[in-house]
Amino acid sequence: MLTTASPALDQRFGLARRVTLPGPLRLDSGALLTPVEIAYETYGTLAPDGGNALLLCHALTMDQHVAGPNPRTGKPGWWTRMVGPGRPIDTDRFFVVCANVLGSCMGSSGPASIDPATGREYGMTFPVITIRDMVRAQAMLLDHLGVARLAAVVGGSMGGMQALSWAATYPDRVAAAVVIASTARHTAQNIAFHEVGRQAVMADPHWRGGDYYGGEPPAAGLAVARMAAHITYLSEAGLTEKFGRRLQAREQKSFGFDADFQVESYLRHQGLAFTDRFDANSYLYITRAMDYFDLAEEHGGLLAHAFRGTGTRFCLVSFDTDWLYPTPESRSIVQALNAAGAPASFVELSSPYGHDAFLLESPELERLVAGFLRAAA
Amino acid sequence: MNLRPDLAIIARHVRAGARVLDVGCGDGDLMAALRDSRGVDARGLELDATNVALAMARGLPVIQGDADTDLAGYPDQSFDYAILSQTLQTARAPDRVLDDLLRIGRRAFVSFPNFAHWRVRLSLLWGGRMPVTRLLPERWYDTPNIHHLTIDDFRAHLRERAITVEGAWFLSGDKSTSETAANFLAEHAVFLLTRNPSA
């Protein structure tokens, strides 16, 4: 063991941690990544037998600050209603780990990291990564933390893809998996929306083939990418309820191309705010990883094969207005789990908020997750 | 736990340690009883999201779905028993649901309210009204029961489809009634069925 100190004093545990693991990490592309930097946070206390560890996997543009304050913005974590003492993912009970995914820009290795071979940012020389590569990097982190087996892995959206990939890649290390508003593969439509975003970034003259570090970043392109993506996270009813055709701070249309409509102003704000916190190249790499995700393809074309002989208990949740990863995607995962004989629970929740519902207030979701984890993990 | 009488009969006759699929499992009363008293590996299918959530909170693996459309994905003979309690009469295609049960399970328990019970007959005969009884509490327009059947209807159907009856229980309230007068005296019935009598 690395340490015999009490867990409270163990430097591996706590908020805003970062570790450099020597690797190498062999990626799906065949490339080797050395070293592997991982930024992460832990909450709660790892039980002496290591049996209470729970891995939280974050979505595309999220970060490791799931329940602790974000040190850069000072804002509370992005899932505080779900994670914390006495919350559904109870940090009094679980030792919760959340790591920034590989390819991202919040402290883990990604295109904005320094390539030790050149002393400069990787940019587009960073290897293309997959969801399974993210999971392998997380497994390296858990080895470092002394966690052999997870009581549960939990994730929404891209986090759910990681949870599925965890169960398929390391079946012996996962007792339970919670997969919320997610999918086992990106559809043509999913890929199409991502490609719009990537092309918007690449069309920005500041992108310069990804070699913009130290100069002006491709903020305009990234903002457009975020605007397009943001629409897919909402529902038509949600947009109508929030904005309708209402005009933005004016009595009548301007007969010009200002943000006349509130929805335009909102999207522009979302796009701009995003560029302050996210690296454009990371956006390219992570969306690519999501597009490449097809769990069935990794297992001979049959999704059920991904779960053959699994002992993991599964909990899947979809939302009825989510058109990014609609309920039939979850249902096909459930069918594969049934075919594999895996114990699975699934429920479709009702919400007006589309894909984003999993991050918003949802007492039903909180009750479900709490109940499932109380019983299963 | 106090199980509904038809569920109590099923619970008593499921082999310990069996694999069971409970179709229309509600909030999981039977599944929990089977798990806790007989070490049964029970899985559930249930239409109502609130019930699914309640069952999940009890640690039961339950999938939100519809017996009419969501049984197709289950492999053949993957369970020792498939159970359909008080749900057959709500299916759009009860005959196909029954076929699916006997495909997925080596045996199937099926329970349903008997529409030929004397109270139902009296209500129609003397009142000229659709019956509202203890087991059929909804009125004609809000009942989920769209395919009413009698015990004799069901027996005839089993004969036509060459389905073997391995057991049958007939209940009036929580009391048993005789087999011969069942179609008149029983409020509901429980059948244990199979297509592989040797299995």
Residue range A215-245, pLDDT digits in tens? 999 999 999 999 999 999 999 999 999 999 9
Q: A339, B75: Cβ pair inside 8 Å?
A: yes
Q: B73, A335: Cβ pair inside 8 Å?
A: yes
For residue A377, pLDDT over 80 is answered with no
The candidate with the shortest Cα–Cα distance to A229, out of A354, A314, A121, is A354
At A331, the amino acid letter reads R
Angstroms from B164 CA to nearest CA on chain A: 27
Q: Which residues of B touch A341 (CB under 8 A)?
A: 75, 78
Is the previous residue joined to A22 through a cis bond, with omega within 30 degrees of 0? no
Say how far apart CA B49 and CA A279 lie, in whole Å: 40
Taking residues B153-168, report their average pLDDT: 97
Interface of B with A (CB under 8 A): 41, 43, 49, 52-53, 55-65, 70, 73-75, 78
The candidate with the shortest Cα–Cα distance to A55, out of A312, A319, A364, is A312
pTM of the model: 0.94
8 Å CB contact between B136 and B113: yes
CB-nearest partner of A346 from B64, B74, B75:
B64
Say how far apart CA A136 and CA A155 lie, in whole Å: 16
Taking residues A165-188, report their average pLDDT: 98
Say how far apart CA A253 and CA B82 lie, in whole Å: 63
Say how far apart CA A63 and CA A65 lie, in whole Å: 6
% of chain A exceeding 70 in pLDDT: 98
The single residue listed with the structure tokens 């883990």 is A108
The candidate with the shortest Cα–Cα distance to A108, out of A41, A44, A161, is A41
The single residue listed with the structure tokens 């959530």 is B53
pLDDT at B197: 76
> Phi first, then psi: what are they for B164, rounded to 5°?
-85, 135
pLDDT at A6: 59
8 Å CB contact between A225 and A281: no
Taking residues B149-174, report their average pLDDT: 95
| Mean confidence (pLDDT) of chain A | 95
Q: A345, B74: Cβ pair inside 8 Å?
A: no
For residue B163, pLDDT over 50 is answered with yes
Q: What is the DSSP string of A53-83?
A: EEEEE--TT--S-SSSPPTTT-PPPTTTTTE
Question: Which H or E element spans position B175?
Answer: strand B175-176
**E-assigned strands of A187-230?**
none
pLDDT at A220: 98
For A62-121, write each residue's pLDDT tens digit: 999 999 899 988 899 999 999 999 999 999 999 999 999 999 999 999 999 999 999 999
8 Å CB contact between B45 and B18: no
Give the count of alpha carbons within 13 A of A352, CB side only.
7
Say how far apart CA A150 and CA A176 lie, in whole Å: 8
8 Å CB contact between B88 and B79: no
- State whether residue A176 is helix, strand or coil: strand
- Chosen from A346, A365, A373, A374 to mutate, greatest number of chain B CBs within 10 A: A346
pLDDT band at B199 (very low <50, low <70, confident <90, very high): low
Annotated active-site residue in A90, A133, A204, A322: A322
For B49-87, write each residue's pLDDT tens digit: 999 989 998 889 999 999 999 998 899 999 999 999 999
pLDDT band at A23 (very low <50, low <70, confident <90, very high): confident
% of chain B exceeding 70 in pLDDT: 98
Angstroms from A99 CA to nearest CA on chain B: 28
Say how far apart CA A223 and CA A231 lie, in whole Å: 13
Give the nearest chain A residue to B70 (CA atoms). Answer: A335
Say how far apart CA A118 and CA A125 lie, in whole Å: 11
Taking residues A164-180, report their average pLDDT: 97
For residue A376, pLDDT over 90 is answered with no
pLDDT at A348: 95
Annotated active-site residue in A108, A204, A355, A356: A355
- State whether residue A258 is helix, strand or coil: coil
The length of chain A in residues reads 377
Say how far apart CA A60 and CA A153 lie, in whole Å: 17
For A334-359, write each residue's pLDDT tens digit: 999 999 999 999 999 999 999 999 99
For residue A3, pLDDT over 50 is answered with no
Strands A114-115 and A120-121: antiparallel
Q: Which residue has the higher pLDDT, A180 or A2?
A: A180
Q: Which residues of A touch B73 (CB under 8 A)?
A: 334-335, 338-339
Q: A334, B73: Cβ pair inside 8 Å?
A: yes
For residue A1, pLDDT over 70 is answered with no
At A291, the amino acid letter reads D
